[in-house]
Each structure stands twice: as structure tokens, then as C-alpha cells.
Amino acid sequence: QITLKESGPTLVKPTQTLTLTCTFSGFSLNTAKVGVGWIRQPPGKALEWLALIYGDDDERYSPSLKSRLTITKDTSKSQVVLTMTNMDPGDTATYYCAHSRTTSGVFGSFDYWGQGTLVTVSS
Amino acid sequence: DMQMTQSPSSLSASVGDRVTITCQAPQDISNFLNWYQQKPGRAPKLLIYDASKLETGVPPRFSGSGSGTHYTLTISSLQPEDVATYFCQQFDYLPLSFGGGTKVQIK
């Protein structure tokens, strides 16, 4: 059974760096067709994809946030870490990590999601 | 960026009604489209992948269709447990992008 869980601070100050950890089980992040992605959702708004890392170390980022994001994986710990620099109140959102499964094309579907963690950016 | 346009933004229908939600892409996305259901306070759940393939465990009243730039999610007979917001997502181009969502309620 695949599970994912996000952890990290619930409150960060403007200009600080956010570090979120996704701890997963039920799969190995060591093949090209399996990945872990981060998606966020501001309160009452739509979903926004942030970053994705595959088992072959391929990393993909949203171009609009690329300069602020870093995604890494630690296969031995079954963890994926997302860092986002220079946080702003506009980054207040629920942050989700999700398992990515490639069935067709280069990218794929997010078929298992963590419960999400609400991060508030405020001084 | 590939901005996905969903319509309607919300709808209200009776139990047993057929419900249709559409998703429009600005250019051909070659069926690289997924549909998700999100209930209040919960994470999204994958319903349909590759435009028309039903995810394991999803009731068959849900179906997806379409091609090119125009895609549809259909609920053949709306049930009370289908109250949720539905999102489409394209995965043909980066950045991966989601539609604005359609909130489905029971009349």
C-alpha cells in the first residue's frame, strides 16, 4: 500500500526558506517511470504544480518558481524534500506531495496523495 | 503555459442526474489529461487518467472522453457522495497544469 505524508513548519515568516519533507512507503523511488511531485493549493483556490523528481534523478520545476525551488530525494530514507526560498504571504497554501505514475507520455498521473500540510506565511 | 479552462465553475444537480464537466486546452494535448475529485478538507483523488481510463476502484458511473483540445468528465447518475470539486490536469507540457475546478452540489 502506497502512503505519503508531508511534514514541516506550519508558520514561516516572509523572506524565510520553507523546507518540507515527504516521507513515503509502499514503493521505491528508483525507476524512471516513478516519481514524487509537490502540488500546492491556496485556501479556496485551484491546484498548482510545483516540482517533480523521478527515480532516475530527473528533476522538473514550474518555470515561474524554478529560481526559488529545489527538490531532492533520499532513497535510503524514503523521503523527498522540497525547499522554497524567499517565502511571501502569497505562498500561503496547503502543500501536497504525491506519487507520480507514468502510463503514457513523458509525465503521468498523481495517483496517491499525502494528506497535505497547511503553511501560513506571516510576520 | 498551458492554461486549462474548466466549465462550469459550479453546478447543482439532482440525485440520479447525468452531469457533464468540460475542460478545454489552448492546444492539442494528445489525451494526456487526468481528472481528480477533491472533497472538502481532503486531498485530491485520481478518477480518470489518459483522458478516458478509469482508475482502479473508481465507480463506473464516472467516465472520461475527448481528444485534441476538448475533454469531458461525465457522472452518469449523480450520487450524494459525489459532492466535491473536480479538477482536470494536463501532462503533455511543462508546467503541469490544472483547471480551475468545478464544484458539484446536490440540488
Grid cell at residue B74: 461525465
Q: Which of A49, A104, A111 sits opposite B55 (nearest CB)?
A: A111
Torsion angle in degrees (nearest 10) through CA of B46, B56, B22, A106:
70
* A106 contacts on B by Cβ (under 8 Å): 91
| B94 in contact with A, Cβ within 8 Å | yes
Q: Provide the residue type at A110 as one letter.
A: F
Residue-level pLDDT at A33? 86
What long-range pairs does A51-54 form, CB within 8 A, spacing at least 24? A51/A82, A52/A100, A52/A107, A52/B96, A53/A29, A53/A80, A54/A29, A54/A100
Closest CA to B23 of B64, B66, B67, B72: B72
Residue-level pLDDT at A97? 98
| B89 in contact with A, Cβ within 8 Å | yes
Closest residue on chain B to A113 (Cα): B43
> Tens digit of pLDDT for each residue in A32-84?
889 999 999 999 999 999 999 999 999 999 999 999 999 999 999 999 999 99
Say yes or no to pLDDT of B21 above 90: yes
Q: Provide the residue type at B5 as one letter.
A: T
Q: What are phi and psi of A112, to 5 degrees?
A: -135, 135
Mean pLDDT of B34-44: 97
For residue A89, the SS3 value is helix
Residue-level pLDDT at A107? 84
Q: With contact defined as beta carbons under 8 Å apart, do B89 and B4 qualify?
A: yes
Say yes or no to pLDDT of B84 above 80: yes
> Tens digit of pLDDT for each residue in A5-23?
999 999 999 999 999 999 9
Residue-level pLDDT at B7? 97
Q: With contact defined as beta carbons under 8 Å apart, do A12 and A87 qualify?
A: yes
Mean pLDDT of B12-33: 97
Grid cell at residue A60: 522538473
| B98 in contact with A, Cβ within 8 Å | yes
B87 compared with A107, residue with greater pLDDT: B87
Say yes or no to pLDDT of A24 above 90: yes
Q: Where are the beta strands (DSSP E) in B1-107?
A: 5-7, 10-13, 19-24, 33-38, 45-49, 53-54, 62-67, 70-75, 84-90, 97-98, 102-106
Residue-level pLDDT at B83? 98
- Give the span between the Cα atoms of A106 and B94, in whole angstroms: 10
